[in-house]
Structure 1
């Protein structure tokens, strides 16, 4: 069997990750995304204009760049959040993340293990096919999707789907942002209330 290599650094992928991984680490994944991005930022302005941004490590630990020193960020403490431009300029960690806050109705639907070898799995395709035009991006793992829009949930919810899961959040949580749109998703946010109600 042919050994797979990281698409960024070309190192061999570990056997336990090789069946669906494209990169050997979060650092390589984000470096590849940065190298391949276009000059046009795909992240909707409804997100970029808010001061709800953090950096994160390759283990998805949120980092604050709000002060003179890098420190852990909190998904419930706005004092640890920054502007989009500031976190984009920072080199702390491996990427950026957006903090969901109940005040702005922004919501993220996280489809875990929605992609298999780059193709949508049937259960995920059904969800995506029923969405209004809204921003969707590939998660850092390369196998999940983050669907962004407006809506609300009383509390974060997680629904198991075999070896996959669907998570819905709109407060007290930060989500990684890769800036890698899925299948040409538009740079705008739609109302996902109906979709969320159907899922929950």
Structure 2
């Protein structure tokens, strides 16, 4: 007879466990639950634990879901931002967005038109290859990448070199979040200070 094992730690489930038990302990049950949530939603916890979330329209206008009425949100007014769980539950607009604030050192590098027919353009590949392991996702258009991490630039910058189009922001902007990771991007944020310095 095949030994039944815990779905998390793979240790054998002894006779003291119920016939339909899947885990050997509450700790293993919670660990498996957290792992399943991470797999279903790759958004880094460094972002989801902050109350800097909004919804957005198809035209990328930010929407506030604070209170019972949906209204326009502001990238500079925290009173219009919500928790991640609140915007995830809401059906307003077409998606969610994260507001960058100078308070937390979170930064986003927007690589516009980085993908052509699903393939990374050479200029974008050079940038992606010099990144530390950090969260990267495909933009709503399917042609750009949003690189998330830690850093500081004090004011937004746009850089154009040849066919490359790069924007870097760390405050006063909201960025759409698709939850569609690029390649094998991890669900964590790295320090992008050196990369930003090289780009600027």
- Same fold by TM (over 0.5)? yes
How far apart in 1 are the matches of 2:125 and 2:99?
27
In the alignment, is residue 180 of structure 1 matched against residue 198 of structure 2? no
1:52-63 equivalent positions in 2, closer than 5 A: 52-63=52-63
Residues 18-70 of structure 1: CA deviation (Å, up to 9, x unaligned): xxxxxxxxxxxxxxxxxxx9852100000000000000000000000012100
Aligned to 2:112: 112
Task: Name the SS for the 1:111 alignment partner.
Answer: strand
Matches within 5 A, 1:1-200: 40-200=40-200
**Shift, 1:160, TM fit:** 1.4
Q: What TM-score do you get using the length of structure 2 for normalisation?
A: 0.80
Equivalences, count: 164
Shift in Å, 1:90 = 0.3
Gaps of 5+ in 2: 1-36
User: What CA distance in whole angstroms lies between the structure 2 residues aligned with 1:91 and 1:39?
Assistant: 22
Q: Flag structure 1 segments of 5+ consecutive residues without an equivalent.
A: 1-36
Aligned to 1:15: none
Q: Which has the larger radius of gyration?
A: 2
Residues of 1 paired with 2:117 and 2:38: CA distance? 24
Q: Which runs of 4+ in 1 moved over 2 A?
A: 37-40, 161-164
Matching residue of 1:8: none
- Kindly provide the CA deviation profile for residues 8-27 of structure 1, in whole angstroms up to 9, marking residues without a partner as x: xxxxxxxxxxxxxxxxxxxx
SS in 2 for 1:109: strand
Q: CA RMSD in A?
A: 1.3
Deviation at 1:154, TM superposition (A): 2.0
TM-score (norm 1): 0.80
